[in-house]
């Protein structure tokens, strides 16, 4: 995995837990992708077939980031996961497989407004596909929350149905998150809002990890990550995989989370 930036702070060593060391996690992601990610793809496809859906996991793109998510959950034993953006549910299913394999009792909360169509994707009612699979394969492990993580902005990818707003803000008030997965509203404001609100729910004595999908392929997401990192300086460690859709992996310093106030929106609404 390519190192794009190394913050002065090594958050893994500060935590005193080698399993949380960012570079070791990156090494494991690469090693397991080479060794076992194809089997994970076939397993996910089988889970969808069992619910009556034909699913083909893209070996050129999805295979890598699904394997990365599986590896992260396994390595840090992530019990509490929050995801923005559900779509057909493959990411949540990959993480649920990891929790099952590690014998964890954890739960994955995934947020999506559930539009009938997503722009650029030929799938009718994709979140309905996801929730059907969740109910059949992981009824106690994956919970879908219909709504917007922050606010509806991303008109480029889907219509914007009427749905609750601020779901992420509600979730972080009641949870201490091990892993935050950002793959929802791909606008600048949406990605930045997910980062700023979501990181406040990270468990201070946990891995404190944020996984941002589409970091390479969508410039608005990349700019949001860049500006959020500038705001928080050397209190975040950062790595990125810059190929295909790409992803960023961020680890927050415990000092960011100490004495934190109740999460507030970083924006003023008109």
Which pLDDT does position 259 carry in this prediction?
58
Within a domain: 188: yes
How many other CB atoms are there within 10 angstroms of residue 183's CB atom? 24
Which pLDDT does position 10 carry in this prediction?
40
Within a domain: 104: yes
Number of domains in the chain: 1
User: pLDDT digits over 234-248, tens only?
Assistant: 999 999 987 778 999
Within a domain: 46: yes
What is the spatial distance between Cα 172 and Cα 119, in angstroms, rounded to a whole number? 29
Within a domain: 268: no
Within a domain: 2: no
Within a domain: 1: no
What secondary structure letter does DSSP report for 156?
T
Within a domain: 269: no
Length of the chain: 270
Which pLDDT does position 260 carry in this prediction?
63
pTM above threshold 0.85: yes
- pLDDT less than 70: residues of the chain: 1-18, 34-35, 119-121, 155-158, 259-270
Domain of 251: which CATH number? 3.40.50.150
User: pLDDT digits over 17-36, tens only?
Assistant: 567 899 999 999 988 886 67
Backbone angles phi, psi at 135, to 5 degrees: -65, -35
Owning domain of residue 121: 11-257
What is the spatial distance between Cα 250 and Cα 262, in angstroms, rounded to a whole number? 22
Within a domain: 250: yes
């Amino acid at each position: 995995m390519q190192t794009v930036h190394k913050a002065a702070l090594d958050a893994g060593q500060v935590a005193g837990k080698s399993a949380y060391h960012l570079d070791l996690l990156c090494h494991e992601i690469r090693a397991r992708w080479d060794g076992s990610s194809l089997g994970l793809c076939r397993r996910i496809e089988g889970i969808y077939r069992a619910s009556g859906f034909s699913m083909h996991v893209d070996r050129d793109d999805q295979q890598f980031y699904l394997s990365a998510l599986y590896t992260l959950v396994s390595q840090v034993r992530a019990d509490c996961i929050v995801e923005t953006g559900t779509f057909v549910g493959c990411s949540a299913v990959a993480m649920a497989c990891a929790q099952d394999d590690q014998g964890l009792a954890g739960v994955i909360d995934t947020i999506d407004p559930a539009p009938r169509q997503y722009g650029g994707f030929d799938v009718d009612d994709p979140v309905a596909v996801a929730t059907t699979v969740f109910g059949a394969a992981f009824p106690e492990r994956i919970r879908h929350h219909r709504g917007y993580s922050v606010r509806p902005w991303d008109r480029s990818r889907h219509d914007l149905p009427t749905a609750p707003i601020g779901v992420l803000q509600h979730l972080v008030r009641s949870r201490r998150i091990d892993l935050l997965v950002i793959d929802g509203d791909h606008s600048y404001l949406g990605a930045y809002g997910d980062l700023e609100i979501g990181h406040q729910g990270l468990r201070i004595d946990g891995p404190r990890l944020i996984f941002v999908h589409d970091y390479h392929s969508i410039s608005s997401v990349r700019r949001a990550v860049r500006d959020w990192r500038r705001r928080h300086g050397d209190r975040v460690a950062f790595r990125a995989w810059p190929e295909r859709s790409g992803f960023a992996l961020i680890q927050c310093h415990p000092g960011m989370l100490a004495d934190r106030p109740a999460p507030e929106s970083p924006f003023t609404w008109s």
